[in-house]
Amino acid sequence: MIALTAAEVATATGGILHPSTLAPSTLVTGPVVIDSRLAQPGALFVALAGEHSDGHDFAAAAAAGGAALVLAARPLAAPDGTPLPTVVVPDVEVALGHLAREVLARLREASSEPGGAGLQVIAVTGSVGKTTTKDLLLQMFSTAGPTVAPVLSFNNEIGLPLTVLRADESTRYLVLEMGASGHGHLTYLTGIAPPDVAVVLVVGSAHLGEFGGVDGVARAKSELVVGLVADGVAVLNADDPRVMAMRDLAPGEVLTFGESVGAQVRASDIRLDRSGRASFTLQTPAPHGGTHDECVALRLVGEHHVHNALAAAAAAVAVGLAPDAVALGLAGADALSPHRMHVVDRPDGVTVIDDSYNANPDSMRAALRALAVLAGRERRSVAVLGEMLELGPDARAAHESIGLQVVRLNVALTVVVGRGARAIADGALLEGSWGDEVAVVDDIEAAVELLEGELRAGDVVLVKSSYGAGLWRLGDRLLAGGTVAVAEDVAP
């Protein structure tokens, strides 16, 4: 973060300094942290109250670690009674957003001055693919200038401000992932960080329970386009009619991507190798008409990543990267975030596809197609599937549809984990699966026991569920070769 005094933090957040003797010139020079264990000299510790712990209880530890200032909802003191240097605010989470908004405004102003970094803010949303697209953008932009992007999936009202606050005067590209689980969420996030480029990937069936249907999802995602800066660029998926309908909301230029003939950034001649990795011809607009064509071979597993690559390419074109640099960046990009199509060939001959971080019907089908391609006709395909959460009244039908998919893709063995996912087995049986092709188990321990006796050399195993279903723990176990106990339920 840029250096700020305690007085400037208080002004930005609407807080007051405590104790009254705290010097307004007290300087924050380190990072903004919400984990006291990450505090270092000069840091700002943000005391957020969560479901399981209250950051206020750890403020003294943060100060002992070197934090220069605490952002909190009440005055705080060290164990010996000494007041901690604190900016006291009515709502810590809201204050964190206010601080990020102020810092970004200052960075934009400094960036526009002669010799400034020329900061560009690129935001990504969509029902699937946000994190992968963010990771692609991070790797592409990092070769062109200092780049800041979220760790893991920091895409909400806490994670996004923390990402913004990692930027400084040298930052050239600020990549933001924006998630929404309700209407108004993206409006709030773009109020903190209005993007110069807004990328909308796809309107799908994630969080249907909160939005009341796919059209509700589309309205929520469109808030990103509405939140663009006045001359911002909307990067829209030409293959999704609901996304393309957002072009009427764009305040400025629209750049489209996809496989459709009319897409401005387009993939043609898509091919998959035996490892499930796609190659294609990337077509981007040429300055004087026509297209500029570059060959791209992705390192990511799954044909669905072509769409993520096109979205990243379009965003890169929108901020001025040359087509050859875009193609080179895509070809060199790896999967960075854990539990997202992470493919490991174990020494015992089993290949594991760990895509267990999140799931909805669209991403589940894409992962199953990747499993089928990777297994081919020579290897046995095994799908270990858990519940897809937050689907509302359509949950049972959505799970049944996945059961149909596993049969149609000839998945040799499907292991359904947990009561909430049982409709997957029902769908498979309805589609004509024999009983021994589908196993239903109650929990992860039962899945571990079944797989330990079932897996053999040559098998390709997909692990997929929503994060809350917990199958990422099973993914960790399988990636480790089955040699470690299933971990406790803590975030990876």
DSSP-assigned letters across all residues of 428-470: HHHTT--GGGEEEESSHHHHHHHHHHH--TT-EEEEE--GGGT
User: Nearest 5°: phi and psi at 174?
Assistant: -115, 105
Residue 489 inside a domain? The answer is no
The one-letter code for the residue type at 150 is P
Whether pLDDT at 492 is above 90 = no
Structure tokens at 292: 């500029």
Claim to verify: residue 15 and residue 130 sit in the same structural domain: no
The Cα–Cα gap between 58 and 60 comes to 6
Claim to verify: residue 370 and residue 409 sit in the same structural domain: yes
CA distances from 173 to 78, 103, 482 (A): 39, 15, 41
Tokens 């692990």 correspond to 463
Claim to verify: residue 242 and residue 279 sit in the same structural domain: yes
Claim to verify: residue 113 and residue 208 sit in the same structural domain: yes
Whether pLDDT at 250 is above 80 = yes
CATH code, domain carrying 101: 3.40.1190.10
pLDDT at 393: 87
Claim to verify: residue 235 and residue 313 sit in the same structural domain: yes
CATH code, domain carrying 396: 3.90.190.20
Claim to verify: residue 365 and residue 347 sit in the same structural domain: yes
Residue 237 inside a domain? The answer is yes
pLDDT at 346: 94
Whether pLDDT at 489 is above 50 = no
Please answer whether residues 247 and 223 qualify as being in contact, where contact means their C-beta atoms are separated by less than 8 angstroms. no
Split into its structural domains, the chain has a count of 3
pLDDT at 490: 36
Whether pLDDT at 275 is above 80 = yes
Q: For the segment 365-378, what is each residue's pLDDT rounded down to a tens digit?
A: 999 999 999 999 99
Domain termination site, one of 331, 360, 394 = 331
Average pLDDT over residues 459-469: 95
Residue 491 inside a domain? The answer is no
Q: Which domain holds residue 198?
A: 95-331
Average pLDDT over residues 223-249: 97
DSSP tag of 49: B
Q: What is the 3-state secondary structure (H, E, C) of 260-325?
A: CCCCCEEEEEEEECCCCEEEEEEEEECCCCCEEEEEEEEEEECCCHHHHHHHHHHHHHHCCCCHHH
CATH code, domain carrying 11: 3.40.1390.10
Please answer whether residues 380 and 388 qualify as being in contact, where contact means their C-beta atoms are separated by less than 8 angstroms. no
Sign of CA dihedral 104, 194, 172, 340: positive
Residue 337 inside a domain? The answer is no
pLDDT band at 208 (very low <50, low <70, confident <90, very high): low
Q: For the segment 288-298, what is each residue's pLDDT rounded down to a tens digit?
A: 888 999 999 99
Claim to verify: residue 154 and residue 266 sit in the same structural domain: yes
Angle, nearest 10°, between helix axes 323-331 and 305-318?
150
Residue 297 inside a domain? The answer is yes
Whether pLDDT at 383 is above 90 = yes
Question: Would you call 212 helix, strand, or coil by DSSP?
Answer: coil
Sequence-distant (6+) residues with CB within 8 A of 109 are: none
Residue 434 inside a domain? The answer is yes
Whether pLDDT at 491 is above 50 = no
Claim to verify: residue 289 and residue 349 sit in the same structural domain: no
Claim to verify: residue 153 and residue 276 sit in the same structural domain: yes
pLDDT at 93: 97
The one-letter code for the residue type at 357 is Y
Name beta bridge partners: 353: 343, 462
Residue 490 inside a domain? The answer is no
pLDDT at 68: 98
Q: For the segment 99-131, what is each residue's pLDDT rounded down to a tens digit?
A: 999 999 999 999 999 999 999 999 999 988 999
pLDDT band at 484 (very low <50, low <70, confident <90, very high): very low
pLDDT at 161: 98
Average pLDDT over residues 337-366: 91
Please answer whether residues 46 and 92 qualify as being in contact, where contact means their C-beta atoms are separated by less than 8 angstroms. yes
Claim to verify: residue 268 and residue 140 sit in the same structural domain: yes
Other C-beta atoms lying within 10 Å of the C-beta of residue 274: 9
Predicted model pTM = 0.88
Whether pLDDT at 43 is above 90 = yes
Whether pLDDT at 483 is above 70 = no
Claim to verify: residue 373 and residue 232 sit in the same structural domain: no
pLDDT band at 338 (very low <50, low <70, confident <90, very high): confident
Domain termination site, one of 56, 90, 124 = 90
Residue 261 inside a domain? The answer is yes
pLDDT at 379: 96
Other C-beta atoms lying within 10 Å of the C-beta of residue 48: 18
Q: For the segment 160-184, what is each residue's pLDDT rounded down to a tens digit?
A: 999 999 999 999 999 999 998 889 9
Domain termination site, one of 69, 90, 111 = 90
Claim to verify: residue 86 and residue 48 sit in the same structural domain: yes
Helix (H) or strand (E) holding 215: helix 214-226
Whether pLDDT at 133 is above 90 = yes
Tokens 């689907």 correspond to 391
Q: What is the mean pLDDT of the chain?
A: 93
